[in-house]
Structure 1
């Protein structure tokens, strides 16, 4: 019974994490391409797309792992199972919140 519960937890965690990673790349890839197109002539800023892509990968790997585990833990503690659509909503919601907070922080510095 315990092994089955661990499998259910890992399945929920993986679903949320996978959607977080995919949606983060979907948000960051166009930003990197736009940055590459507009800053390609600049001496130093031409490397900005690399930083943007790294943030699109490292963000979900560092923060997305923890938040996905917390969401799956709450579902497991409540004794509920997670549907695929719920994992999608939580994963994309995490990425959207990160993009929104990042955008608002940039505006605060202007």
Structure 2
């Protein structure tokens, strides 16, 4: 059995939380910890994008089902799915870099589960703020 990541598929790496494959030896404590700034940033950003898609996909499907007869609003699912990508690309990049920068400046390593929690937490905070903004306009 090989210990390298060359035989493991991309989907299996994501599902097992091994986000960044390493070619040579590593200075990290274990195989799944993220030591470098780019690894931490990529891990948090990847989970932000994935969780944003998971939050927006049901909303887009609901809008597609309910607004399909409307002349103008039937294009709303396109806007919803576009925001599921644009949001993490604008805000998720910066906040993921800030989280990774704090970990790197503190000299700590990030385990993959922490990257998952931070990424999903960012998307959840955006979801809560979006609902609070809508309620404030009523």
If you compute each CA radius of gyration, which structure gives the higher value, 1 or 2?
2
> After the TM superposition, which residues 22-101 of structure 1 pair with which residues of structure 2 at under 5 Å, given as runs?
22-101=50-129
For residues 113 and 123 of structure 2, what CA distance do their matches in structure 1 show? 15
Structure 1 stretches lacking a partner, 5+ long: none
User: If the length of structure 2 is used for normalisation, what is the TM-score?
Assistant: 0.74
The count of aligned residue pairs is: 105
Structure 2 stretches lacking a partner, 5+ long: 1-26, 28-34
Which segments of structure 1 move beyond 2 Å, counting only runs of 4 or more?
A: none
Task: Determine which structure has the larger helix proportion and give its number.
Answer: 1
User: If the length of structure 1 is used for normalisation, what is the TM-score?
Assistant: 0.93
Q: Which has the higher contact order (CA 8 A, sep 6+)?
A: 1
Q: CA RMSD in A?
A: 1.1
